[in-house]
Structure 1
Amino acid sequence: MSKDFGEFTRIRVSDIPYDPEDFVFEEYKNKVQSFIGQAVYIYSFEKNRMLYAAGWEDLLGYKSEEITLFKIVSITSKRHFNFSNELNDKALQFLLSKKEELEKYSFTIEVEKIHKNGEIIPLFSRVGIFKSKNGTILEIIGISEKIHSRKLGNIMQYAVFGPKLSGFEETLNQQLFNELAISNKEIEVLELAAKGFTFKEIASKLNVSQSAIEKRIYPLYKRFNVKSLPHLISFAHDNHIL
């Protein structure tokens, strides 16, 4: 596996597809719901391979029996590869550190993937914990669909969900600070600022302190090399964030 992948990805992500003869495949084929336009996979850390995949030929041109977790990670576009790799790597490491309510944790990412024919496809993908036992993650599930509503810029967008998010978000923000990325909470504040609300008014709307709002906005100046809030808002529009 390439040295460009993160430590977690190199160790825990395999290039092994699902086994159609495995009884688990048939079980998930009947159990896992998927909708038109969506592709889904279930990956086992216990067996170190895919357990189930469907919808990938329509989405990215690959037959479901060709899909592996390594392939999904590796066919990311050049401009999004580093960030996508870091996010997946750090998010999965964080999830593995949790021991309770594991199935409630997930993260989303907007990312460009390369179709089998070479076309760049913008995707919205969500990865969550599908099965755990005694505080150990056994399986994860990923669901992807094409983004039709807008273009993706150089700035990648992500979000995290779960019962105890502070550590999750802090971990990602620290690790991804030097990447061109923005979280859903940062976008939430930026959208309100773009509508003309002051930091104090935004803090009141979101029921947090003004300093919490400043901590979401001011780091973006350095991250995106902008000099002021109007410059940041203009940058966000230019990069399809707002």
Structure 2
Amino acid sequence: MKVKNDFGDYSRNFITDIPAELESEEALYYKNTIPRFPEEAVYIYSFKQNRMVYASGWEEVVGYRDDEINMLAIVNMSAPEFAPFSHDLNDKALQFIHNKSKDLERYSFTIELKKIHKNGSQVPIIARVGVFSSENGKIDAIIGRFQINRSLIFGRVMRYAAYGPEKEKFEEELNKILFSHLAISNKEKEALSLVARGYSFKEIASELNVSHSAIEKRIIPLYKRFDVKSLTHLVSFAYDNFILPLLAIVQIYYFNI
């Protein structure tokens, strides 16, 4: 499989195009112990071995056999309109986690995007990537789950979320770095959904058990990012770009394996 090296600048130092050896003892162990849902593809990529060590379900999801799929291909098969944001998110999330040394397996992020199938069609995906294992305070391997979700409706805004022991700091750092993109985090969507229901900033702060200034930091930057002039305009923009209606149906997949 030929892939272009247009992935993120930071990630390029850690990612290769070497597929998994599916008959290896390690891969067979993962095959027997890691659950996979219908229309879901799973991978485990080892930074220690600089290669994919497990892959399952990829032909069903994007048309590539499990023994040919590799990390570069997965990163670079994002649809063109999603690729720049996806590359930056991968880069910045990996950078953030590389600076942590405790509870690494609890960090992950999700993104909604379209991937390009081997036949050229576009596949709506909810992807979740997290730390699979660590050693001596450093990431050893990551796990990714890519679930087809045909109910997703995409607007111009990229949707993502961050998880982990320092969830708020993780998401805040991503927000700062990804500000130039038309994107919205799960935390920002949460606050915006309450705005749309008529809550004041004070009421939202009480509902979410955070400070008034924390809500301002979630909502006010959206004015500039989405080029809107008022809360009414912001809510209208959110509906027009299918941000708010999706709040109830976004699916989250946890790595309790």
TM-score, length of structure 2 as denominator length: 0.91
Letter of the 2:25 partner, please give it.
F
Any conservation in 2 of the 1:150–1:240 contact (CA below 8 Å)?
no
* Distance (Å, rounded) in 2 between the aligned partners of 1:205 and 1:55: 40
Task: Tell me the equivalent position of 1:91.
Answer: 93
1:20-31 to 2 correspondence within 5 Å? Answer: 20-31=22-33
The question of 1:210 aligning with 2:204 is answered no
Task: Tell me the equivalent position of 2:106.
Answer: 104
Q: CA deviation at 1:182?
A: 0.3
Percent identity (aligned): 55
Letter of the 2:151 partner, please give it.
S
Q: 1:148 aligns with which of 139, 143, 150?
A: 150
* Moved beyond 6 Å, runs of 4+: none
Aligned residues: 242
Give the match's secondary structure for 2:48: coil
* Distance (Å, rounded) in 2 between the aligned partners of 1:60 and 1:4: 19
Q: 1:200 aligns with which of 169, 188, 202?
A: 202
The one-character-per-residue Cα deviations of 1:172-224 (angstroms, maximum 9, x if unpaired) are: 01110010110000000000000111111111101111111111111001101
Unaligned runs of 5+ in 1: none
* Distance (Å, rounded) in 1 between the aligned partners of 2:152 and 2:110: 17
* Distance (Å, rounded) in 1 between the aligned partners of 2:31 and 2:15: 22
Q: CA deviation at 1:2?
A: 5.2
Letter of the 1:219 partner, please give it.
P
Task: Tell me the equivalent position of 1:220.
Answer: 222
Any conservation in 1 of the 2:7–2:75 contact (CA below 8 Å)?
no
1:118-129 to 2 correspondence within 5 Å? Answer: 118-129=120-131
Q: CA deviation at 1:19?
A: 1.2
More helix by share: 1
Unaligned runs of 5+ in 2: 245-257
Q: CA deviation at 1:170?
A: 2.3
TM-score, length of structure 1 as denominator length: 0.96
**Residues 3 and 142 of structure 1: CA distance in aligned 2, closer, same or farther (over 3 Å):** closer
